[in-house]
């Protein structure tokens, strides 16, 4: 069966001695990566199999506390890094991620995870939110999980496989226009407001200017904390909006239609999300996250998603089909120069998206 793969980030709650064991494991793992990297670079050998023959035993002897599977993971990590660039010697930070596979990681229910460390296997408690419980129940972990260390906290990035929902019967199309001012607008005329995310963004950019002018380390740290908090809040809002949209599609037996952004260039994507400055990175990131959330929640619930050509969806009149730059009076206002049709600009775009999905 073809499931949906989603990555979820889970906070670990190690006891003091477990914390130390994880830290030492991470350090030794990355030290081993650095040793392997030198061998690979100097012998110009970047294939996993050959590198394993070349350095498995010397590394095993030098890092006697690392289990053999962790050494194999370290070799794999080095190979991955050299795939991107063989010209310069790769170096690994000592708090870089460890990639665990199922031989060295296993979940013990939803409360604990068993991990291989330099001190043998340890069973570490995890913090699982209500949301994660619903996602993880009866799920299979797929492939690998990264152990990462961020600001003094260990997290697991787990890839979970979620089965696709049984496909619902559909008789309608719900066109969705995604944007910045209105995060999402559907072809039934409902606006999913971006006010909350936009307020976050404004507050963040003011704070950023203030703290950047200070330029101290403490200011930088506060800025990073703040950015993380804003991302968390934006993600919660996206979860909420995507859930509402998918439930609405289910209620109305509708296919969801979105603009296809894969085929168009990065520049056009930027103009679509109205990116003017670095300060708007949060909205850009949030925009793509919402698309992703809608897609996977739709698949989980058996709601089909179709993608339509995004060309001129904001300039075309949904009433008469006339396409003109002049139709778009302002950011909000659409007024057709040919037939006089007046509507909110995002609503007009969502109607175009809906129609394109029906036609195609």
Measured from the CB of residue 340, what is the shortest distance to Zn ion in angstroms? 7
Measured from the CB of residue 326, what is the shortest distance to Zn ion in angstroms? 11
Q: How many beta carbons lie within 10 A of that of residue 63, not counting itself? A: 18
CA distance linking residue 200 with residue 204, whole number of Å: 6
> DSSP label at 66?
S
Is residue 341 involved in binding Zn ion (CB under 5 A)? yes
CA 280 from centroid of its chain's CA atoms: 17
Measured from the CB of residue 316, what is the shortest distance to Zn ion in angstroms? 9
- Widest CA span of the chain, in angstroms? 80
Q: Are strands 182-186 and 172-178 parallel, antiparallel or unpaired?
A: antiparallel
Is residue 319 involved in binding Zn ion (CB under 5 A)? yes
Q: Which of 153, 339, 342, 358 binds Zn ion (CB under 5 A)?
A: 339
Is residue 323 involved in binding Zn ion (CB under 5 A)? no
Which phi and psi angles does 9 have, rounded to 5°?
-105, 120
Is residue 317 involved in binding Zn ion (CB under 5 A)? yes
For residues 293 and 285, the answer to whether their CB atoms sit within 8 Å is: no
For residues 341 and 317, the answer to whether their CB atoms sit within 8 Å is: yes
Is residue 191 involved in binding Zn ion (CB under 5 A)? no
Helices of type H across 252-275? 266-272
| Residue number, 256 or 349, with CB nearest to Zn ion | 349
Measured from the CB of residue 341, what is the shortest distance to Zn ion in angstroms? 4
| Residue number, 191 or 341, with CB nearest to Zn ion | 341
Q: Are strands 254-259 and 172-178 parallel, antiparallel or unpaired?
A: parallel
**For Zn ion, which stretch binds (CB under 5 A), given 66-74, 133-141, 270-278, 331-339?**
331-339
Measured from the CB of residue 322, what is the shortest distance to Zn ion in angstroms? 5
Measured from the CB of residue 356, what is the shortest distance to Zn ion in angstroms? 16
CA distance linking residue 158 with residue 143, whole number of Å: 9
Binding mask 270-309 for Zn ion (x = CB under 5 A): ----------------------------------------
Is residue 337 involved in binding Zn ion (CB under 5 A)? no
**For Zn ion, which stretch binds (CB under 5 A), given 104-112, 196-204, 208-216, 319-327?**
319-327
**For Zn ion, which stretch binds (CB under 5 A), given 58-66, 102-110, 169-177, 312-320?**
312-320
C-alpha separations of 223 from 36, 66, 194, 203 in Å:
36, 37, 22, 12
Q: Are strands 4-12 and 153-162 parallel, antiparallel or unpaired?
A: antiparallel
| Number of chain positions touching Zn ion (CB under 5 A) | 8
Q: Which of 280, 136, 291 is nearest to 205 (CA)?
A: 280
Residue whose tokens read 């996977």: 296
Q: Which of 170, 349, 355 is nearest to 255 (CA)?
A: 170
| Residue number, 51 or 336, with CB nearest to Zn ion | 336
Please give the angle made by the CA atoms of 58, 60 and 62, to the nearest 5 degrees.
70
| Residue number, 153 or 339, with CB nearest to Zn ion | 339
Q: Which of 168, 322, 323, 344 binds Zn ion (CB under 5 A)?
A: 322
CA distance linking residue 185 with residue 169, whole number of Å: 23
Is residue 335 involved in binding Zn ion (CB under 5 A)? no
**For Zn ion, which stretch binds (CB under 5 A), given 116-124, 149-157, 234-242, 332-340?**
332-340
| 3 state DSSP class of 230 | helix
Measured from the CB of residue 307, what is the shortest distance to Zn ion in angstroms? 25
| Residue number, 205 or 338, with CB nearest to Zn ion | 338
Q: Which of 320, 326, 333, 342 binds Zn ion (CB under 5 A)?
A: 320
Measured from the CB of residue 315, what is the shortest distance to Zn ion in angstroms? 11
Q: Which of 336, 343, 349, 357 binds Zn ion (CB under 5 A)?
A: 336
Residue whose tokens read 């394993």: 52
Binding site for Zn ion (CB under 5 A): 317, 319-320, 322, 336, 338-339, 341
């Amino acid at each position: 069966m073809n499931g949906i793969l989603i990555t979820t980030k889970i906070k670990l709650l190690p006891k003091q001695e477990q914390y130390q064991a994880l830290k030492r494991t991470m350090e030794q793992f990355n030290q081993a990566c650095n040793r392997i990297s030198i061998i690979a670079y100097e012998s110009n050998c970047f294939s996993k199999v050959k590198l394993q023959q070349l350095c498995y035993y010397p590394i095993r002897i030098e890092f006697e506390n690392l289990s053999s599977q962790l050494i194999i993971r370290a070799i794999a990590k080095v190979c991955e890094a050299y795939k991107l660039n063989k010209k310069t010697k790769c170096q690994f930070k000592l708090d870089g991620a460890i990639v665990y596979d199922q031989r060295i990681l296993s979940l013990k229910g939803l409360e604990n995870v068993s991990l291989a460390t330099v001190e043998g296997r340890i069973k570490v408690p995890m913090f699982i939110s209500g949301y994660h419980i619903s996602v993880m129940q009866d799920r299979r972990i797929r492939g690998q999980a990264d152990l990462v260390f961020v600001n003094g906290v260990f997290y697991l990035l787990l890839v979970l496989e979620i089965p696709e929902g049984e496909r619902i019967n559909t008789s309608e199309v719900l066109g969705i226009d995604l944007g910045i001012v209105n995060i999402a607008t559907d072809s039934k005329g409902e606006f999913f407001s971006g006010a909350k995310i936009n307020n976050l963004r404004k507050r963040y950019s003011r704070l950023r200017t203030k703290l950047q002018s200070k330029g101290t380390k403490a200011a930088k740290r506060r800025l990073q904390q703040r950015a993380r908090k804003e991302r968390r809040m934006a993600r919660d809002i996206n979860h909420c909006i995507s859930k509402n949209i998918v439930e609405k599609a289910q209620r109305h037996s509708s296919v969801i239609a979105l603009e296809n952004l894969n085929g168009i260039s990065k520049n056009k994507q930027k103009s679509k999300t109205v990116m003017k400055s670095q300060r708007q990175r949060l909205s850009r990131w949030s925009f793509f996250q919402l698309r992703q959330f809608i897609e996977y929640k739709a698949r989980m619930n058996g709601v089909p998603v179709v993608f339509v050509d995004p060309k001129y969806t904001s300039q075309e009149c949904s009433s008469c089909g006339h396409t003109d730059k002049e139709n778009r009076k302002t950011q909000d206002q659409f007024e057709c120069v040919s037939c006089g049709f007046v509507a909110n600009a995002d609503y007009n775009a969502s109607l175009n998206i809906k129609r394109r999905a029906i036609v195609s």
